[in-house]
Structure 1
Amino acid sequence: MSALTLVTKDTYAAEVEQESKLVVVDFFSPYCMPCKQMEPVLEEIASERVDDLKIVKVDASAEPDLAAKFGIRGAPTFVALRNGEKLDMLIGAKPKAAMLEWIDSADL
């Protein structure tokens, strides 16, 4: 079972805005190779940080309104939020160490 939840516009409020933990939204495209490469990295981080972090995925091509809300122009793009408030944004595939560093710096 995946540690990552696929979010749509219908589930966004419940999964992201009403979550008190730090949430990282992965805006991806199913046809994007860097997005596919990030999948195991995100799975690993999500399972290691289950107590203080939630990672969700949004298919930017299937959810253009959510992508537009954050000005997403390419995939993968990661948005860190707490209580629905945007804290930071990261564009492009990154190694696990860089993702963890960004996650920790976004939530200061």
Structure 2
Amino acid sequence: MNYSLVFALGIGVLITLYFARIYLSRFKLIGEPNPLQNNHQEGNSNWQIYYFYSPRCSACKTITPVIEEHSKQYKQVSAVDISTDLALAQQFHIRATPTAVFIENDIVSDVQLGSGIGQTMKDFIEKHASAN
């Protein structure tokens, strides 16, 4: 029996399970109350977006400038560097970057992982900015 093949297959399964756990953990937060509901800056706003990134993340480097433009335009959009604000990332159970947490009426409505969050964020902002 070829043990190196069995070993490689076992390692592959463990890696797959690890990344599946990270991906599926995003669903755990959806429907939960905003961990910062008593602490948000916007006052009367019924929506918020928290974008978590790391300066070492290559996908974050392409998305972060776009998000920072949104955060200048809308007070409800917050960019959080997890290397300097780890406590906030832990409150939201962030395990990977980039991650965006979308909040409506102090309830987490969606969590997006990866480099595709830009369009989702744009659609979310357009939907809520036009409602105000």
Normalised by the shorter chain, which TM-score bucket?
A: 0.5 to 0.7
Q: Does 1:97 align with 2:123?
A: no
Q: CA deviation at 1:86?
A: 1.9
Q: Does 1:34 align with 2:45?
A: no
CA 1:37 to 1:61, structure 2 compared with 1: closer, same or farther past 3 Å?
A: same
The residue number in structure 1 matching 2:50 is 25
Matching residue's letter, 1:75: T
How many residue pairs were aligned?
90
Give the superposition deviation at 1:34: 1.1
Q: CA deviation at 1:64?
A: 1.8
Q: What are the Cα deviations for residues 42-82 of structure 1, in whole angstroms up to 9, with x where unaligned?
A: 2454567x4xx721111112222211111100111001124
In structure 1, what residue type is equivalent to 2:113? I
Using the size of structure 1 for normalisation, the TM-score is 0.62
What are the ranges of 5 or more consecutive residues in structure 2 without an aligned counterpart? 1-37
| Cα deviation digits, residues 73-105 of structure 1 (max 9, x gap) | 01110011245432211111126434334x26x
> Structure 1, unaligned stretches of length 5 or more?
1-11
Select the residue among 107, 114, 117 that pairs with 1:85: 107
Higher strand share: 1
Distance in 1 separating the partners of 2:44 and 2:78:
11
Partner of residue 6, structure 1: none
TM-score, length-scaled by structure 2: 0.52
1:71 and 2:85 are equivalent in the alignment? no
- CA distance in structure 1 between the aligned counterparts of 2:52 and 2:117, rounded to whole angstroms: 17
The Cα shift of 1:37 comes to 0.5
Are the counterparts in 2 of residues 21 and 54 from structure 1 also a CA contact under 8 Å? no
Partners of 2:67 and 2:79 within 8 A in 1 = no
Give the number of the structure whose residues are more often helix, by fraction: 2
Identity of aligned residues (%): 29
* Structure with the larger RCO, 1 or 2 (CA within 8 Å, 6+ apart): 1
